Amino acid sequence: MGKIFITGGSGLIGSIVNKKLSKNHEIINLDLYESNINSTKTIIGDMNNFEDVLSGSKGCSAIIHLGAVIEVNTSWELVLKNNFESTRNVYESARLNNIDKVIFASSNHAVGLFENDSPYKDIVKGNYDGLDPQNIPIIDHNVPIRPDSYYGISKAYGESLGRYYYEKFNIQSINLRIGTVQKIDTPKNSVRHFATWLAHDDIAQLVEKSIDNKLGFEIFYGVSNNKWRFWDIKNAYNKIGYEPTENAENYRK
């Protein structure tokens, strides 16, 4: 089944993905901290150090790049070091180590400024009057990037880097525009989450199916099958059979 190299494997999404993939794959995490998943191996290292990424990923069949600073309002200096340089380290290591697939944890914030527009700005505030959830204009993989922050710009950059490495070096590049993943697996922290929530089982499924299918350059939205979601899941369904099982509406009281 091949070895999989994961940056940021000790984080929230990394822990979810480790538990899922370790059933059928050998996992090697690169992180500043030890993973709490007993069935996986962690290399204590730094994704911003090219040699750590290059040596750690040698012999692997795929890289899942989850490591990043994740706060939307992060400063340019931190985003530059942790998001821009680390992503280049991942793709260049994949090229040098003949690894033919990178799954990149992009973000909905690469297109976040769509939420300044109707009906999305109303939906994220919970203002549903006059809206039909069956007739919301869906934001899909073909829309122009509209990052809402330096963080969002770093994710759009990562997608562009993936396009370059796919077209230049034929490295499969799967970009997951991830929605809202919560430590406590419900959407109830914010009314926005009833549109943007991504359940643990659904992110695990999305990553696993991205690993298991032969792909090219792809953008998939990471969102559960929420009543008020406005991001596309059809592309992921058509390409990899992604069928999210959770719906945030089931948690609304």
Contact 15, 74 (CB under 8 A): no
Give the separation between CA 233 and CA 71, rounded to whole angstroms. 25
Reference 21, options 177, 207, 179, 201; nearest CA is: 207
Q: For residues 140-150, b (16+ Cβ closer than 10 Å) or e, as one string?
A: ebeeeebbbbb
Q: Above 80 in pLDDT, residue 36?
A: no
pLDDT in tens, 75-100: 999 999 899 999 999 999 999 999 99
* Number of other residues whose CB lies within 10 A of the CB of residue 252: 14
- List, in sequence order, every residue forming a beta bridge with 173; answer none if it has no partner: 102, 217
State which amino acid sits at residue 212: D
Specify the number of domains making up the chain.
Answer: 1
CATH number at residue 37: 3.40.50.720
pLDDT in tens, 160-187: 999 999 999 999 999 999 999 999 999 9
Give the separation between CA 249 and CA 146, rounded to whole angstroms. 27
In which domain, by residue range, is 221 found?
3-251
Average pLDDT over residues 106-115: 98
Reference 204, options 181, 187, 172; nearest CA is: 181
Angle between helices 12-21 and 200-212 (to 10 degrees): 60
